[in-house]
């Protein structure tokens, strides 16, 4: 841009820049939310994975114990069968009674083993049901994370495109603005919730609602020089209240 801008043109362009910056900031805020939108699912997946793996270890140990019980039962049943076959070969009453006693003991032992195996089996089924619940919740959260990740990627692509457009508009808008004034605006904007230039009307700063000293306010009305609010340090732009008889007044 050729030629030096008047103060009013500078202020008008700074307002345009601020409108663009507000849009850029709004997009950046939304982009900053992306990790939060995903972290909930990621945290839940991590928690469920830990619970699932811990429960799986319990199930594996119980199933191992059940297999050992069933193996012991099989051995005990085999011993019982062999002892019963020996009964037919026993010739003395004393040997017969001793073997009978051994068979009864083996049968009792089989009963105990069967009961223990059943208890372990019941525990396995109980923990397997809990395992199924964890697995279903885990798969559900993984599916939701995948869906949300795709949404975030699509939104991010759209936001990046819009940011590129707005950045181009900003570059055009700042053209011709004195670097000192632009730096002043940027510095205040960064410390004042993204607002670096505000209206001055009714004797007050509309950024912080503090009264403006009369001399400064008079200078603003004349448009003779750039002023900032003594309180919030934002750049001030005089906005005359519409006159009652003004046909263009907005009421």
Residues 6+ apart with CB under 8 A from 224: 7
pLDDT of residue 3: 62
Q: Is the pLDDT of residue 223 over 90?
A: no
The domains located in the chain, with CATH, are: 7-28+178-238 (no CATH), 33-172 (1.10.287)
The per-residue pLDDT of the chain, averaged, comes to: 91
pLDDT of residue 168: 97
Neighbours of 17 (CB within 10 A): 23
Residues 6+ apart with CB under 8 A from 234: 188, 192, 195, 196, 197, 198, 205, 207, 208, 228
Place of tokens 């004797």: 203
Instruction: State pLDDT tens for residues 148-193.
Output: 999 999 999 999 999 999 999 999 999 999 999 999 999 999 999 8
Asked if 239 and 188 touch (Cβ cutoff 8 Å), the reply is: no
Strand 235-238 to strand 197-201: parallel, antiparallel, or no bridges (unpaired)? parallel
Which pTM value belongs to this model?
0.69
Q: Is the pLDDT of residue 75 over 70?
A: yes
pLDDT of residue 251: 23
- Average confidence (pLDDT) over 59-83: 93
- Average confidence (pLDDT) over 213-226: 91
Alpha-carbon span 83 to 75, nearest angstrom: 12
Question: Mutual orientation of helices 93-173 and 34-87 as an angle, nearest 10°?
Answer: 170
242 falls in which pLDDT band (50, 70, 90)?
very low
Instruction: State pLDDT tens for residues 99-149.
Output: 899 999 999 999 999 999 999 999 999 999 999 999 999 999 999 999 999
- Average confidence (pLDDT) over 31-40: 94
pLDDT of residue 70: 93
- Average confidence (pLDDT) over 27-34: 95
pLDDT of residue 52: 96
């Amino acid at each position: 841009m050729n030629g030096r801008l008047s103060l009013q043109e500078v202020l008008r362009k700074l307002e345009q820049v601020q409108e663009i910056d507000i849009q850029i900031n709004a997009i950046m805020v939304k982009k900053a939310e992306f990790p939060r939108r995903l972290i909930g699912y990621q945290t839940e997946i991590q928690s469920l994975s830990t619970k699932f793996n811990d429960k799986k270890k319990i199930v594996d140990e119980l199933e191992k114990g059940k297999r050992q019980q069933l193996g012991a039962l099989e051995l005990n049943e085999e011993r019982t069968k062999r002892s019963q076959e020996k009964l037919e070969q026993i010739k003395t009453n004393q040997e017969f009674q001793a073997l009978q006693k051994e068979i009864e003991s083996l049968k009792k032992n089989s009963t105990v083993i069967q009961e223990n195996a059943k208890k372990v089996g019941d525990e396995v089924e109980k923990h397997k049901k809990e395992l199924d619940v964890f697995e279903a919740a885990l798969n559900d959260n993984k599916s939701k994370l995948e869906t949300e990740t795709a949404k975030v990627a699509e939104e991010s692509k759209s936001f990046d495109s819009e940011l590129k457009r707005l950045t181009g508009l900003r570059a055009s808008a700042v053209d011709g603005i004195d670097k000192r004034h632009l730096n002043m605006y940027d510095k205040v904007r960064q410390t004042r919730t993204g607002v670096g230039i505000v209206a001055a009307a009714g004797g007050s700063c509309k950024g912080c609602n503090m009264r403006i000293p009369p001399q400064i306010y008079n200078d603003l009305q004349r448009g003779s020089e750039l002023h900032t609010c003594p309180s919030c340090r934002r750049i001030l732009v005089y906005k005359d209240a519409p006159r009652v008889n003004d046909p263009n007044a907005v009421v």
